[in-house]
Structure 1
Amino acid sequence: MTLEALLAGLHILAILSLVVFLSSQAALCRSEWMNAAVVTRLTRVDMIYGITAVVVLATGLFRTWWGMKGGGWYWHQPLLHFKLGLFVVIGLLSIKPTLTYRRWARTLQATGSLPDEDEIKATRRLVMLQGHLLLLIPIAAVMLARGVWTRG
């Protein structure tokens, strides 16, 4: 029981951290606010976002393996696969902004120039899409926890 509570707490903490750093990217990635400090900050925030995503995934997997219901139950649940699928889609969507932030930082360092407005807007759209898709995961999680659409 203590392990279950600890794993749940760590998972929630990781999820909240992920939301903070994704929200930070959305807030910072605006053409009207873009300057050299923001470009540098975006690369750092994105790196932390990636780390928190790994921690969310790890703590979630630990909950399925060592939690009270056990992996045999969790891995047969469609909602778990839906949650993981969404998480993978969000992760894939995050690749382009990550590469873009790094390119912006290299360009800034090499030439001192900032990204253009259209590229900033396109990158922000991907960040916002990640945020909107992320909203579906806790809904699926609550449904799974309450036994909605579960098997056995």
Structure 2
Amino acid sequence: MLFHWFLAAIHLLAFALGFWAVLTRGAALRTLAAGAGDMRRVLLADNFWGISALTLLVTGAMRAFGGYEKGTDYYLHQPLFHLKMTLFVLILLIELAPMVTLIKWRIASARGTAIDMGRAKLYARFSHVEALLLVLMVVAATGMARGVTFG
């Protein structure tokens, strides 16, 4: 029982970390686009965003399919679980372009070459959309925890 509680706590804390990280990355990208930002801040926030996403994926899979919570059958037949997973996939799809670009920026920074920040403002917007989708995931998760169903 304690491990179930621990797993749930880690899962929820990963949402909090992810929300902070993606908002921080968005703000850092916005200031970077304005010419006043710090690349290290962007990359550090991006690291935390990645850690939180991985933690959400692992702990979520353990909870839904590892026998630690209500059981796989419950989740697969729960509409809010499908909503939550759809939102997660949307976040992953939105994240593809910033992720690839930030990897390129890391490589360029390590090599000491120039970094094209032309899309920094766009990726700041993407980050803020991802933060909103995270909030919606939490709303769906709280409904699941309460056994909310439709129909």
Amino acid at match of 1:80: F
> What letter matches 1:144 in structure 2?
M
Specify the SS of the correspondent of 2:24: helix
Q: Counterpart of 1:58?
A: 58
Q: Which residue of 2 aligns with 1:32?
A: 34
Letter in 1 for 2:56: V
Question: How many residues matched?
Answer: 146
**RMSD across aligned positions (CA):** 2.2
2:43 is aligned to: 43
Gapped runs of 5+ residues in structure 1?
none
The whole-number CA distance in structure 2 between the counterparts of 1:67 and 1:107 is 43
Residue number in structure 2 paired with 1:122: 122
Partner of 2:72: helix, strand, or coil? helix
Q: CA deviation at 1:128?
A: 1.3
Evaluate the alpha carbon distance shift between residue 115 and residue 75 of structure 1 in structure 2; reply closer, same or farther with a 3 A threshold. same
CA drift of 1:22 comes to: 0.8
Compared CA separation, residues 20 and 33, structure 1 to 2 (3 A): farther
> What is the identity, as a one-letter code, of the residue corresponding to 1:40?
R
Residues 23-82 of structure 1 show CA distances to partners (whole Å, capped at 9, x for unaligned) of 2101211123544xx223322321331121011111111112233412222222121111
Percent of paired sites with the same residue: 31
CA distance in 2, matches of 1:74, 1:110: 48
Task: Determine the structure 1 residue equivalent to 2:93.
Answer: 92
Alpha carbons 2:18, 2:49 under 8 Å: kept? yes
1:2 match: 2
- The two structures have a TM-score, normalised by structure 2, of 0.83
Shift in Å, 1:137: 0.7
Cα pair 2:29 2:120 within 8 Å, conserved: yes
**Gaps spanning 5+ residues in structure 2: where?**
none
Q: Is the 8 A contact 1:25 1:46 kept in 2?
A: yes
Report what 1:82 is aligned to.
83
Q: Which residue identity is paired with 2:27?
A: A
Shift of 1:102: 3.1
